[in-house]
């Protein structure tokens, strides 16, 4: 597939979005930048974008096969994802299955506490305001989404959680929480976008409870890339590894 990139449309903390020769398609480049704390802590770690793209492509494919519409089209090569162009909604939709992270600083939950049903939280994706938590009234007042769109987002999010949680458990992983983003396609459909990776999710080894995600970087611990590699190794099928000539 031709990966010739057009104009740079958007540069985020860890990804670049480029126009293609198809008006409604973009190329997402996964960079090796890794950040925490609203971007205040930042490093470059080789192969981070490589593993994130493989993991995202695999999980998007799992969701597509379950009937969930995503931005993902293809992974022509590791690090570059061909995607549908979306008008992104500035909401971070966070689903929490197990109490961890910032939730413990804000509320009197016990670390490791299970939530059934899961907690769905929405934050304003805006660095200037430090991504504050929102309620529906504020979302509507800001004009970020309509009531109907919020209902659709919640329904899709619950299904995403069910599909991924079940899949990851079969691969030996716990899924404490994850952050996803949605956008509107050219027909104004609500579509899952961005990425699903150790940058945006918590993954724990089911047996050892070892952390296998960006929390290692947040805490200043070593083995970040090794953790990302392990997640890829656990979720990719042998045919996936053969396709990319991977030897884990």
What total of structural domains would you count in the chain?
A: 2
Q: What DSSP state is assigned to residue 69?
A: -
- State whether 103 and 149 are in the same domain: yes
- Enter the tokens of residue 248: 């884990």
pLDDT digits (tens, 9 = 90+) for 53-110: 999 999 999 999 999 999 999 999 999 999 999 999 999 999 999 999 999 999 999 9
Give a yes or no: residue 113 inside a domain.
yes
- State whether 236 and 136 are in the same domain: no
Phi, psi of 77 (to 5 degrees): -160, 155
Give a yes or no: residue 2 inside a domain.
no
pLDDT digits (tens, 9 = 90+) for 37-55: 887 899 999 999 999 999 9
Phi, psi of 124 (to 5 degrees): -80, 120
Contact 34, 195 (CB under 8 A): no
Distance from the Cα of residue 96 to its chain's centroid: 14
CA dist., res. 248 & res. 230, Å (int): 8
Average pLDDT over residues 135-146: 98
- State whether 79 and 95 are in the same domain: no
Phi, psi of 8 (to 5 degrees): -75, 120
- State whether 118 and 199 are in the same domain: yes
Share of the chain above pLDDT 90, in %: 93
CATH label of the domain that carries residue 153: 3.30.470.20
pLDDT at 245: 75
Q: 3-class secondary structure for 28-43? A: EEECCEEEECCCCEEE
- State whether 228 and 142 are in the same domain: no
Q: 33: Cβ–Cβ under 8 A, 6 or more apart, which residues?
A: 13, 14, 42, 43, 44, 48
pLDDT at 247: 59
pLDDT at 2: 56
Model-level pTM? 0.96
- State whether 161 and 52 are in the same domain: no
Range of the domain at 102: 88-205
- State whether 183 and 200 are in the same domain: yes
CA dist., res. 126 & res. 91, Å (int): 9
- State whether 103 and 120 are in the same domain: yes
CATH label of the domain that carries residue 59: 3.30.200.20
pLDDT tier, 248 (very low <50, low <70, confident <90, very high otherwise) = low
pLDDT at 4: 78
Share of the chain above pLDDT 70, in %: 98
- State whether 79 and 99 are in the same domain: no
């Amino acid at each position: 597939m031709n990966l010739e990139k057009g104009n740079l449309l958007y540069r985020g903390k860890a990804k670049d979005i480029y126009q293609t020769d198809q008006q409604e398609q973009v190329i997402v480049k996964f960079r090796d930048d890794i950040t925490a704390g609203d971007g205040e802590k930042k490093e470059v770690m080789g192969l981070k974008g490589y593993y994130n793209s493989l993991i995202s492509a695999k999980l998007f494919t799992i969701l597509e096969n379950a009937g969930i519409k995503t931005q993902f089209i293809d992974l022509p090569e590791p690090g570059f994802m061909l995607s549908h162009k979306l008008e992104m909604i500035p909401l971070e939709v966070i689903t929490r299955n197990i109490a961890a992270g910032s939730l413990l600083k804000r509320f009197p939950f016990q670390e490791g506490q299970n939530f059934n049903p899961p907690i769905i939280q929405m934050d304003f994706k805006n660095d200037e305001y430090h991504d504050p938590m929102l309620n529906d009234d504020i979302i509507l007042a800001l004009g970020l989404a309509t009531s109907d769109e919020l209902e659709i987002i919640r329904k899709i999010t619950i299904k995403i959680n069910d599909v991924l949680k079940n899949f990851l458990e079969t691969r030996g992983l716990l899924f404490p929480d994850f952050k996803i983003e949605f956008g509107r396609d050219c027909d104004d459909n609500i579509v899952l976008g961005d990425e699903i990776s150790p940058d945006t999710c918590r993954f724990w080894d089911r047996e050892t409870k070892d952390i296998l995600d960006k929390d290692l970087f947040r805490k200043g611990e070593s083995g970040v890339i090794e953790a990302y590699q392990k997640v890829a190794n656990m979720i990719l099928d042998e045919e996936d590894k053969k396709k990319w000539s991977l030897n884990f």
